Structure 1
Amino acid sequence: MSAPLLSTLGILFPESLVRSHAFAVLAAFVAINTMVYVTLSVAKALPKIWVRDYLPRGYERAETRSIYPDGPR
């Protein structure tokens, strides 16, 4: 395809538009929005991390109440 045909279809923007301040602000907004979306998507795909699983339990009994006294607490 030739360049005049591409510009009439709206595929290419004129250089004055691409170098404008408003276009730069819009491009920055789109970039930040994309990064936020990717971060949220990756965080949703990963398994949940529970902080309490890695901390010592304060409510653990001193002795077992199981019928197997040598079993785990």
Structure 2
Amino acid sequence: MIAPTGFLLPETILQTEWFSILATFVAINTVIYVVLGVIKIFPKVKLQRRGGANRRSETRSIHPDAPV
């Protein structure tokens, strides 16, 4: 039993300009998806600011007398 090895194109097609543009697009697209995949592996980095911008001036708890 012979296993198929793939589809081979003639050398004249591989040296055309449109095939070169297509190969470049596929290469750039592959690099972008690899970078996005690697970025998703790492945890998110959150920058903490030292101001009161992220803090509420009043508590919004169901217990209004709770410390802020």
Could you tell me the TM-score, scaled by structure 1's length? 0.59
1:45 aligns with 2:38: no
Consecutive unaligned residues in structure 1, runs of 5 or more: 1-5, 61-73
Q: CA deviation at 1:28?
A: 0.3
Equivalenced residue count is 50
Identity %: 44
What amino acid does structure 2 have at the position aligned with 1:58?
G
What is residue 58 of structure 1 aligned with on the other side? 51
Q: Does 1:15 align with 2:45?
A: no
Q: TM-score, normalised by structure 2?
A: 0.63
Runs of 4+ deviating beyond 4 Å: none
- Measured against aligned partners, the alpha-carbon deviations of 1:14-73 in whole angstroms (never above 9, x if no partner) come to 00000000100000000000011001111111100112x3x4x1128xxxxxxxxxxxxx
Q: CA RMSD in A?
A: 2.2
